Chain A
């Protein structure tokens, strides 16, 4: 990775509020996004993920440190850094076609009308929404809306695609389908992508590299975890892949450790990631003979006891 990073953050700090009562959201972040790379950032809810993506898009400026695009200071937000918002941000008075066309007409003013129409149609087809092209957002399901948002972002032909928890509000099945679609589209387009998510499985399934974001306030980024699992990745077989499990455990351990580090000083309630790891550290013959607790999603728990240490 010797080439210039597409986007680079150097010692970035960002906070909100007046000096007397200031909340540091991000503290001394360093991040590099390399050309063609799929980078995932995993963090707790409320740990400043949206602030981070606004910095990457140029919608916000760092208070301290610098944000660079191709090694130069980050210009204001533009269509070269297409953003897929957490809540889709579709314009409700426009159809699917209209929403995508708004972006295409703006980004490709030199194309003639027929070429622009072809561009819009192509990206609507890419996310499998051609039958719904004349529907308005309120007539679509959450998953379909998110596809429109993805189509709109891709149709801008951006250099970087920024995905801000794009699947956070969707049900598990829709989520899995859209994960597969994002993976397929990325393999076709090979754009630089930053995915922000609270789901470590999703991050490992999709990304080349996963960076955990510690719990806020003043969240920082953890070490890079390179995901060298071969593509295309199959979620079924991954679930039993020891390497996958090891990666997931390491990332979760880092995240939980960061939350534990904060718990002594933080008064806020923390929302944990949606996964409870299985214990891989002590595998004995007893565990093999009597399989213990596998990895589980939090939603499957009926009740649980959480111990917090206040060191």
Chain B
């Protein structure tokens, strides 16, 4: 085995790069944990000391155990119900048996799921409004001028200001006999939509307005109709910009969601944080910190997912 110096130095370089790219973040994280546990030992709050990393990790374990226990209880409930149903039908075969739903105690992990459902509902509502509106705004200068004041006016409004209005409107307008959605869920989702549609709207409008004139000339030479032009030229050309907007929107939506859920009492992560705060037990802070890490990790994962979608639709710099 004779490894040439250039190979070994190249190998060394690669190894060093890996060590650096993994080592520095790992070191930074270790320093963070150290400072955190140092602080936790020295800060006293009304119900004991500030939880350190170990306490938070233990709390995560507790929450997982609770979730598992709830699952076991659910299975036992349905098993008991099946037994009683069989006994009931054996006694009176003509009788009407009423199935009962298990009344969930929302565990932390179920609340994560609820939050994800809510944010996606809001995000889909926002996208369905923002993308078409952005396209017509990008195509027509007059429409853009007409909508611009509203965009500028409503874009900076906080979710906390929207939410009461949305909740009142939802209570007034959404009263079907058999509601498909909880009102709190709808209010939260609509608030997420109202706050997160702006980045998509603005990016779509800019993307459409800045389409290369050459592409539009191709459409003119081919005499494409309005709809074909939008579908075959405008939309694909603006797609990378639209996806940049969608990615920003989802990020905003996830941030807004926690606040909306706190106030609307939608059984998601926001409500979890609020309930723990109200509850004020010795585990409160540790549980809220678990939620903070969960919120951060999920937000990061959503952003990465949108980034890979964005990369998949972008076609690089325009062909020249």
Contact = CB atoms under 8 A, between A and B. Distances in A.
Interface of A: 57, 59, 76-79, 81-83, 85, 87-94, 102-103, 106-107, 136-138, 140, 145, 156
Contacts, number: 64
Given A57-B221, A93-B237, 15 more contacts: A76-B220, A77-B220, A78-B223, A83-B217, A87-B214, A91-B215, A91-B233, A91-B236, A91-B237, A92-B318, A93-B315, A102-B222, A106-B223, A106-B224, A138-B316
B173 interface: no
10 contacts: A77-B220, A77-B223, A79-B221, A81-B221, A87-B214, A88-B320, A89-B214, A90-B319, A94-B236, A102-B222
Interface of B: 212, 214-215, 217-218, 220-224, 228, 232-233, 236-237, 239, 315-320
Identify the 7 closest CB pairs spanning chains A and B, nearest first: A137-B319, A89-B214, A92-B315, A92-B319, A93-B236, A106-B222, A77-B220
Contact of A77 (B221, B228, B320): B221
Contacts of B218: 85, 89, 91
Given A92-B316, A102-B232, A138-B315, A78 B215 contact: no
Contact of B217 (A89, A94, A106, A140): A89
A106 B219 CA distance: 10
Contacts of A78: 221, 223
A54 to B, nearest CB: 8
Nearest to B320: A87
Q: Is the interface of A mostly helix, strand, loop or mixed?
A: loop
Nearest to A138: B316
A90 B45 CA distance: 65
Contacts of B318: 92
Contacts of A82: 221
A145 B319 contact: yes
Contacts of B237: 91, 93
A103 B222 CA distance: 7
Nearest to B316: A138
Contacts of A57: 221
Contacts of A81: 221
B317 A138 contact: yes
A79 B315 CA distance: 27
Contacts of B217: 59, 77, 83, 85, 89
**B224, B232, B317 — which one has the most chain A CB atoms within 10 A of its CB?**
B232
A305 B236 CA distance: 50
Contacts of B236: 91, 93-94
Contact of A88 (B232, B315, B317, B319): B319
Contacts of A85: 214, 217-218
A57 B222 CA distance: 12
Contacts of A106: 222-224, 228
**A85, A93, A103, A156 — which one has the most chain B CB atoms within 10 A of its CB?**
A93
B122 to A, nearest CB: 29
Contacts of B224: 106
Contacts of B220: 59, 76-77
Nearest to B319: A137
Nearest to A152: B218
Contacts of A59: 217, 220-221
A55 B237 CA distance: 26
Contacts of B215: 89, 91
A14 to B, nearest CB: 17
A85 B218 CA distance: 9
